[in-house]
Amino acid sequence: MKKKMDKLKEKIKANKQIIIFLLGLTIVAIIFGAIFVTVLNKNDQTLVKDYLEQYLNNIKNNKLDYLVAFKNSFISNLIYILTILILGISIIGIPIMLFLFFTKSFILGFSISSIILNYKLKGCLLSFIYIFPHHIINIFLLILLVIYAFAFSIKIINALFNKQTIDFKLITNKYLTVLVITIIGILITSLIEVFITPLIIKLLLPIIK
């Protein structure tokens, strides 16, 4: 166990700059997403409010199709991480990969701000339930995957342009291990998002609305 922890610390230390950059990018994207809500015109703000109202009413009246919602949530997240995987093994994939990561955090910021804007102080409680813990876990899973994808791309670039030799088998095995961990993670977070979060929201609806 101690060896694994030491290895994890070394990995974090080796990728410290990338981790700090991604965390900073996450914060900036969330802030941009939150600000974007405030500059929407009234028609767009009304559409967002109607969507939130419909979502809460569906929870209240037990009209959510949980299996369809789970399928959509898992598949959309799976496509997202597989896209990052593919970009990670290409030379030109880094900027696109970072853009996708930015948009994920941007949408999170947009969602939080929309909830708070429409439900004021009660929206703080609702937004907390909406993001915790599944969206937070998803962000960290994406950070983990992007770190490895980023490092993989850099190693390929060094191999091509700087004539460095790399053990592709070892790197690929590690990359696929991280991918499997990420897939298991999004499976769990999709289950939480679809089956647990609506249940908690339903219990708190008398307070929120």
Give the model confidence (pLDDT) of 147-189 as tens digits. Answer: 888 877 777 777 777 766 666 677 778 778 888 889 999 999 9
Q: Check whether 4 has a pLDDT greater than 60.
A: no
The tokens describing 87, both together, are: 């970009």
Kindly report the backbone phi and psi dihedral angles of residue 133, in degrees, each rounded to the nearest multiple of 5, phi listed first.
-100, -5
**Positive or negative: CA dihedral 136, 139, 145, 148:** negative
**Average pLDDT rounded to a whole number, residues 26-39:** 90
pLDDT band at 106 (very low <50, low <70, confident <90, very high): very high
Residues 6+ apart with CB under 8 A from 100: 80, 83, 84, 87
**7 or 197, which is more confident?**
197
Inside any domain, residue 5: no
Q: pLDDT tens across 129-142, in order?
A: 888 888 889 988 88
Residue 41 pLDDT > 90: no
Residue 93, in any domain of the structure: yes
Residue closest to 139 by CA, chosen among 198, 86, 94, 80: 80
Residues 148, 176: Cα–Cα separation, whole Å: 10
User: Would you give the distance in Å from CA 71 to the centre of its chain?
Assistant: 17
Domain carrying residue 102? 13-208
Q: Identify whether 81 is part of a domain.
A: yes
CA-based R_g, the chain, Å: 20
Structure tokens at 81: 């991480």
pTM of the full structure? 0.84
Domain count, the chain: 1
Q: Please check whether residue 8 lies inside any domain of the structure.
A: no
In a domain, 4, yes or no: no
* Residue 183 placed within a domain: yes
